[in-house]
Amino acid sequence: MKSTYEVIARPWSQSDVVASIFSFEGTHRPISRAMWKAQSALVERASSGRFTHWQVGGPFAHHEHVNHLMRTLKSRHEGFVEGARTDDLTRFEALVIVLLDIDCAPTNSMCLDTLVAEASAGCIAGNAQRSNHLDNMGHIYVAPSCLAVTVGTLARLGWPPADPNGRSDCCEEWTWRAEELGIPVRVLRPLSVEGEAQEGLWSLDDRLGYFGIGTTFGTDSGTPMNWHGFELFREREPLRYYLRRLFRTILGRGQGSLRRRREVDRAEWVSQHFREFLDVMTQQ
């Protein structure tokens, strides 16, 4: 099947839709608390505190985190359906879920508003990506580094798993399923790339060009929307690299003084944060 994406043309104005943002830490790339705090501050800045942002760690791969979230959402959705709680179901299906990698951050206040609005219109929306390590006809999909979709759309998709398989990387099945069902796929395209990976730049297609380490994604009109580090575990000092790019690329400031920061044990903090998330998402 040929990719059927459309590039998001221009930013949307402020959205009043309810949304929850989730950032997960994968097992292959431990993240310092300073990096978590940097992303949290940028999300807060971009959303003016209008959206709930959950940062979740733990001994799980990224797709396992997402699958756990899907099971939680599905269980609550089924509870509303079985209980004939129509009003609660309607509100819950309108909730927008945003996946945002810990090394991805909005560059301005329009990023989250735009993605939330696109998702509310019934689309699956976010950063364009291609699994170049797979032979899947150059399929373009919405990457979980920055992805927005409503609970209602996830239900229409049949709660697809996030697991990689023979034709898909993490969450790519969501785009395949959307294309099969005629659900619109809307993407942000690379506007600039700061560096090359060890293998060089990664190709998308003739229209979208390339992406790589330190990619700024934006609209077709050229408005920057978010910055994604990609594979920061390759960097010798990922925290320093990340913060330097955030200050320079996103905040529009100079590099400034970036001292090495000590890694901290987040086990208790993460555990409490995840318990709070479960309490909120499973309450009836």
Which of 75-89, 102-116, 127-141 has the weakest average pLDDT? Answer: 127-141
Query: What pLDDT, in 10s, does the model give residues 200-240?
Result: 678 888 889 988 888 999 999 999 999 998 866 555 556 66
For the segment 158-173, what is each residue's pLDDT rounded down to a tens digit? 999 998 887 778 899 9
Tell me whether residue 1 is in a domain.
no
* Sign of the four-CA dihedral 254, 188, 153, 155: negative
Q: Give, in order, the Cα–Cα distances in Å from 104 to each of 1, 24, 37, 48.
A: 29, 11, 13, 18
Look up the CATH number of the domain holding residue 65.
3.90.550
Q: What is the pLDDT of residue 247?
A: 58
pLDDT on residue 94: 94
Write out the residue range of the structural domain in which residue 101 sits. 6-260+269-282
Identify the burial level of 3 via C-beta atoms within 10 angstroms of its C-beta, where 0-12 means exposed, 13-18 middle and 19 or more buried: buried
Cβ atoms of 106 and 46 within 8 Å: the answer is yes
- Angle of helix 238-245 relative to helix 33-47, nearest 10 degrees, comes to 20
Residue 132 lies in a domain: yes
Pair of tokens at residue 220? 């077709």
* Bridge partners for 114 per DSSP: none
AA identity, residue 142: V
Distance between CA atoms of residues 195 and 197, nearest Å: 7
Structurally, the chain folds into a number of domains equal to 1
Task: Find residue 193's DSSP bridge partners.
Answer: 215
Whether residue 176 is contained in a domain is answered as yes
Four-point Cα dihedral 182, 132, 99, 243, nearest 10? -150
Contacts of 246 (CB under 8 A, 6+ apart): 38, 42, 105, 227
> In this predicted structure, what is the pLDDT of residue 30?
59
Question: What pLDDT sits at residue 195?
Answer: 67
Residue 112 in domain: yes
CA distance 278 to 271: 11
Query: Across 8-12, 48-52, 86-90, 121-125, which has the greatest mean pLDDT?
Result: 121-125
Q: Is the pLDDT of residue 6 over 70?
A: yes
How much helix, strand and coil, in percent to the nearest 5, is found in the chain? 35, 20, 40
pLDDT of residue 284: 32
Strand, helix or coil at 124? strand
Q: Is residue 203 left, alpha or beta, with left meaning phi > 0 and alpha meaning psi from -120 to 50?
A: beta
Token duo for residue 18: 């309810």
How far apart CA 231 and CA 252 sit, in angstroms, is 23
Q: What is the pTM of this model?
A: 0.82
**Is pLDDT of 137 > 80?**
no
Query: Is the pLDDT score of 2 beyond 80?
Result: no
Is the pLDDT at 88 greater than 80? The verdict is: yes
For tokens 């086990």, what's the residue?
A: 267
What contacts 231, CB < 8 A, 6 or more positions away?
197, 213
**What mean pLDDT is reported for the chain?**
79
Tell me the average pLDDT across 5-11: 91
